[in-house]
Chains A and B, each alone.
Chain A
Amino acid sequence: MSVIKEWEPKILVFTCNWCTYTGADLAGLNRMKYPENVRLVRVPCSSRVNPQFILRAFMKGCDGVLVCGCHPGDCHYVSGNYFTRRRFMLMQRLLEYNGVDPARFQARWISGSEAAKFRDTMIRVSKEIKALGPNTKFREDWYVKEAIANEPSK
């Protein structure tokens, strides 16, 4: 029996250990439901996320990336998310300028108590990415099995 699986996006969510990851755990404790296609990568602080991680994810075929951290003023490490804010405000614009649909890369502040916000955000982002379809623009075809033949001559 072969079932044609519906296409599911791959969504990467960077979460800081102290707020959003905790919020996600709380969503679990409350048995809140959200799509399976989001995967969390835990980092100590959203400021740990190097914007190049996001580029890497897109190249490797990720369909959407989200960076989440504590609300401004609540950073466990005092000021980390202020750096996050600047980095990703600029990176997001740069990506958009380069043709990345803004929905594919987003940032959100979700605290440890905002389980519902976490769930709602995951549901909404997942829906948005699904509507956009697979990331083809920035995926490196290299990694796609079918495109194993040599690159066309330059």
Chain B
Amino acid sequence: MLLDKKRLKEALAILSRDAKVLVPMEVDGVAKFTPWDGQKLPSLDMINTTLPPKDALFPQTEKMYNFTTGPNAQIAEVQGTEKQVLFGVRSCDARSIDCMDKAFLTGTFGDSFYSKKRENLTIIAVGCVKTGPFCFCDSMGLDPSSAPNADVQLADLGDAYAVTAQTERGTAVLDQWKSLLTEGEGDAPKPKCVLQVSVPEDFPKKLMGMFEHPIWDEVSKPCLGCGTCTYVCPTCYCFDINAEKHGHEGTEFRCWDSCMFSDYARMAGGHNPRPSKKERVRNRYLHKLAYFHEQHGQLLCVGCGRCVQKCPSNMDITRFIDMAGEAMNNG
């Protein structure tokens, strides 16, 4: 089916009827997924938003419980989840949601705050027609033009989008859009990333064997220990739970944390198992490229290139992969 680009607003309006529609837009100089205002067309030409869409499922600050102390102490889970549509998601960000699903929903413990939001989320992906200077998703095993876990996949044919439902929820979207869609199909461009990284075979396993390798010293040195890479990363899902009290009332909340912060691993009593940035950078790269793979069978890096672009020190995970590969080849 085809959706004429001229009818995009109508399509979004239909979605907005019973859900909050988040579209890529530049707001005040920052590109991010933001509630559609009903007016402006989303910026579907930009390669990638500055901030990933993970905030929709995993807000930077998320209230969990409200409580009161004192004689009549009470505790209540914060309610109020609404339906959300993520529109115009790229393959990399769509994959990142897949990663977060694995992190939050598999295993013995399912994260109820995440799962409630996830249940209410519809993902409408759009295939890339070109790639940016920092994109390397195809090296991470992704297809820039296709997001298998999206509910709906759009393919940009120039004047129209080819629309494909990939899930039941996607079929429902197409139903809603029935009046806007026309029959037809077409071939969208199949771009390749300019930035190519060669990931050796068995890379995660080999990398785990390099825990004591001097490479970590070298790659970690420029790191400033800020949280930029983790906060712009679509797959970084670490959080910290805190409470704020105001007299007898209080709120427990979680907020993003960054494994790059020096106090991240610090325990009560002051001991820090990751005292220097070497350990912290190692942990992050190993988590992205090895540990997660070990647990869930896929890399935690989706090749969106945001960390490469935004790192204040111009640290580059692709360069690290190459260096590590070289080190592996040299034994």
From the candidates B59, B244, B249, name the one contacting A151 in the complex (CB within 8 A): B59
Contact A148 B66 (CB under 8 A): yes
A52 beta carbon closer than 8 Å to chain B: no
Contact A150 B63 (CB under 8 A): yes
Contact B51 A154 (CB under 8 A): yes
Contacts A154-B59, A154-B60 known; A149 to B246 CB distance under 8 Å? no
Write the chain B residue with the least CB distance to A154.
B55
B80 beta carbon closer than 8 Å to chain A: yes
Contact B63 A153 (CB under 8 A): no
B126 to chain A, nearest CB (A): 20
> Complex Cα distance A18/B209, Å?
66
B186 to chain A, nearest CB (A): 34
B56 to chain A, nearest CB (A): 6
Contact B60 A142 (CB under 8 A): no
A83 beta carbon closer than 8 Å to chain B: no
Number of interface residues, chain B, beta carbon within 8 A? 19
Contacts A142-B244, A148-B66, A148-B78 known; A153 to B55 CB distance under 8 Å? yes
B277 beta carbon closer than 8 Å to chain A: no
Write the chain B residue with the least CB distance to A140.
B244
Cβ–Cβ < 8 Å partners of A142 in chain B: 244, 251
Cβ–Cβ < 8 Å partners of B251 in chain A: 142, 148
A143 beta carbon closer than 8 Å to chain B: yes
Contact B59 A153 (CB under 8 A): yes
> Complex Cα distance A148/B65, Å?
10
B95 beta carbon closer than 8 Å to chain A: no
Task: Indicate with 1 or 0, residue by residue over A20-63, a CB within 8 angstroms of chain B CB atoms.
Answer: 00000000000000000000000000000000000000001000
For B35, B78, B80, B246, the residue with the greatest tally of chain A CB atoms inside 10 Å of its CB is B246
Contact A150 B66 (CB under 8 A): no
Number of interface residues, chain A, beta carbon within 8 A? 10
> Complex Cα distance A45/B88, Å?
59
B302 beta carbon closer than 8 Å to chain A: no
Contact A145 B249 (CB under 8 A): yes
Write the chain A residue with the least CB distance to B246.
A143
Contact B78 A150 (CB under 8 A): yes
Cβ–Cβ < 8 Å partners of A60 in chain B: 246
> Complex Cα distance A111/B178, Å?
79
> Complex Cα distance A142/B246, Å?
10
> Complex Cα distance A149/B66, Å?
10
Contact A150 B80 (CB under 8 A): yes
> Complex Cα distance A153/B35, Å?
8
> Complex Cα distance A121/B241, Å?
44
B32 beta carbon closer than 8 Å to chain A: yes
Write the chain A residue with the least CB distance to B80.
A149
> Complex Cα distance A149/B22, Å?
19
Which residues of B in the span 189-229 have a Cβ within 8 Å of any Cβ on A? none
> Complex Cα distance A56/B60, Å?
22
Task: Indicate with 1 or 0, residue by residue over A105-125, a CB within 8 angstroms of chain B CB atoms.
Answer: 000000000000000000000
Contact A151 B61 (CB under 8 A): yes
> Complex Cα distance A116/B55, Å?
56
> Complex Cα distance A154/B62, Å?
11
Contact B55 A150 (CB under 8 A): no
Cβ–Cβ < 8 Å partners of B244 in chain A: 142-143
Cβ–Cβ < 8 Å partners of A150 in chain B: 59, 62-63, 78, 80
Write the chain B residue with the least CB distance to A60.
B246
Cβ–Cβ < 8 Å partners of A148 in chain B: 63, 66, 78, 251
Cβ–Cβ < 8 Å partners of B66 in chain A: 148
From the candidates B32, B246, B249, name the one contacting A154 in the complex (CB within 8 A): B32
> Complex Cα distance A143/B55, Å?
22
Apart from A143-B246, A150-B80, A154-B55, 15 more pairs, CB < 8 Å: A60-B246, A142-B251, A145-B249, A148-B63, A148-B78, A149-B63, A149-B80, A150-B59, A150-B62, A150-B78, A151-B59, A153-B22, A153-B35, A154-B32, A154-B51
28 CB-based A-B contacts, threshold 8 Å: A60-B246, A142-B244, A142-B251, A143-B244, A143-B246, A145-B249, A148-B63, A148-B66, A148-B251, A149-B63, A149-B78, A149-B80, A150-B59, A150-B62, A150-B63, A150-B78, A151-B59, A151-B63, A153-B22, A153-B35, A153-B55, A153-B56, A153-B59, A154-B32, A154-B51, A154-B55, A154-B59, A154-B60
Closest 5 CB pairs of A and B: A143-B246, A154-B55, A149-B80, A153-B55, A150-B63
